[in-house]
Amino acid sequence: MSTQRPRLPLTAHGLACGLGLSSTESLAALERGERGLREVPFEVPFATVTGTLPGGEPPPVPAHLAVYDSRLARLAHLAWVDMQAAGERAIARWGAERVALIVGTSTGGIGETEAAHEAWWPTQEPAAVPASYSYPTQHSFHAFLDFLAELTGIAGPRYVVSTACSSSNKVFASARRLIELGIVDAAVVGGVDGLCHTTVRGFHGLGVMAPEPCRPFGVDRPGMNVGEAAALVLVEREGEPLAWLRGVGETSDAYHPSSPDPEGRGALRAMQGALAEAGVAPGEVDHVNAHGTGTQYNDIAESKAIAALLGTEVPVVSTKAYTGHTLGACGGVEAIFAIHCLRRGWIPAALGAHPTDPDIPLRLPAEPEERTLRYVLSNSFAFGGNNCSVLFEAAR
């Protein structure tokens, strides 16, 4: 449906990704044009780099919540600490039961089960499973939300949206519905995914993993890099906005389980849906944070959709060249980048996009650009042909 919807303020965010362990660190590294791509933090039987958190293992969760300890919970903890003051203010203002937790993830905490499985495999005896391993509190999808609920006291509805790589764009729509309908007054949304064998080996098996840093939209691009991140954004009924949430478009390709519609029709309708909800014309969009995985198929299909809707002059950047593809967290990460661009009046360089694939008809800034921005569109597309596009507006 394309009825115009009221805007909601995005009032705070918390971030940990390959670029840094906080929003401040990550956004400064983005501005410096750094890549947060490093060695894979475990052994795999092929060459690649991943958007691994800097500084080694993230610190354990607080001791009283050790039953939840997992890479996912550790990432989520870092992101919460980064926005803790604003989060606690929102809980105090609205009441703990009036704040929802709606967060995306693609694999949950499967990394913990991978380790338990490796220990169990040689003997396949129950006693070989490490005593510290707990499937429901470490692996299952909602385990890190139970952790966040206990950590923060947030007591409103909490659930995971898990539509693979579009998960943490779709959470903005879920939260907005609950706020509009008066079910809650605020929501912590975003996405969390940790590096694990399942995704790194899985994308290699699909034949889309780059052995080197990815080059979205670049000629002869080698594929994608997997990354990890926790990105949380606070959406409130009212508040001092860093930026506004204006529109969300959610569509299905109905084409293929793991390849996009080559014409990008589902992506196009998702972007159209986001603009229609905001009553914003295509010509008003100042910048697109593309899904831009760096795979052959995604980048061609997405560029067709962007060019068809917005033309070929709007600056398009895939920040996955900086962070890797953080899967269920990428919508959240890129929302925070979009908010930063709107606040700063700045667009990062399209790292790796030059020389550009001649079949990509987009303007991909070779250098960062300083300019006033009002609307930024952020795309996330996923397995199953699941598309979600979110429109953000500058606060001023």
Partner 1 sequence: MTRPVYVKGRALWAPGYANVHAWLRGEPDAAVTAPAAAVVGGRLKRATSPMARTSIEVITLAAADAGFDPATCATVFGSYHGEIEIAFHQLEMMRDGEGVISPARFKNSVHNTAAGLFTIGAGNHGFTTAIAGGPHTFALSLLEAWALVASGEEDQVVFSTTEEPLPSFIGRWSDHGLLGVALALGASPDGALARIDPPTNATGPVPAPEVSAPFAGHVAAPGLAMIQALEDGWRGPLGLTPPGGGPAALGVEVPHDGWQTALEAP
What positions carry a catalytic annotation?
165, 291, 325
For partner 1, the binding residue among 1, 63, 131, 281 (CB under 8 A) is 1
Phi, psi of 11 (to 5 degrees): -110, -10
**Touching partner 1, residues 73-102 (CB under 8 A):** 97
Rounded to the nearest 10 degrees, how much is the dihedral formed by the CA atoms of 301, 219, 50, 129? 50
With contact defined as beta carbons under 8 Å apart, do 319 and 333 qualify?
yes
- Judged by beta carbon, residue 146 or residue 286, the one nearer partner 1 is 146
Does residue number 238 form part of the binding site for partner 1 (CB under 8 A)? no
**Touching partner 1, residues 30-59 (CB under 8 A):** 44-46
**Touching partner 1, residues 353-392 (CB under 8 A):** 382-386
How many other CB atoms are found less than 10 A from the CB of residue 122?
8
Secondary structure letter of residue 261 according to DSSP = -
**Touching partner 1, residues 241-280 (CB under 8 A):** 250-258, 266, 269
Least spacing, CB of residue 155 vs partner 1, in Å: 6
* DSSP labels, 123-182: T--GGGS-TT--IIIIISTTHHHHHHHHHH---S-EEEE--GGGHHHHHHHHHHHHHHTT
- Judged by beta carbon, residue 45 or residue 56, the one nearer partner 1 is 45
Least spacing, CB of residue 302 vs partner 1, in Å: 17
Does residue number 290 form part of the binding site for partner 1 (CB under 8 A)? no
Sign of CA dihedral 97, 102, 331, 76: positive
Does residue number 178 form part of the binding site for partner 1 (CB under 8 A)? yes
Interface region with partner 1, contact rule CB under 8 A, candidates 202-210, 317-325, 359-367, 369-377: 202-210
For partner 1, the binding residue among 81, 206, 300, 308 (CB under 8 A) is 206
Task: Give the separation between CA 238 and CA 131, rounded to whole angstroms.
Answer: 46
For partner 1, the binding residue among 80, 94, 141, 375 (CB under 8 A) is 141
Does residue number 129 form part of the binding site for partner 1 (CB under 8 A)? yes
Phi, psi of 74 (to 5 degrees): -65, -40
Task: Estimate to the nearest angstrom the gap between the alpha carbon of 211 and the chain centroid.
Answer: 22
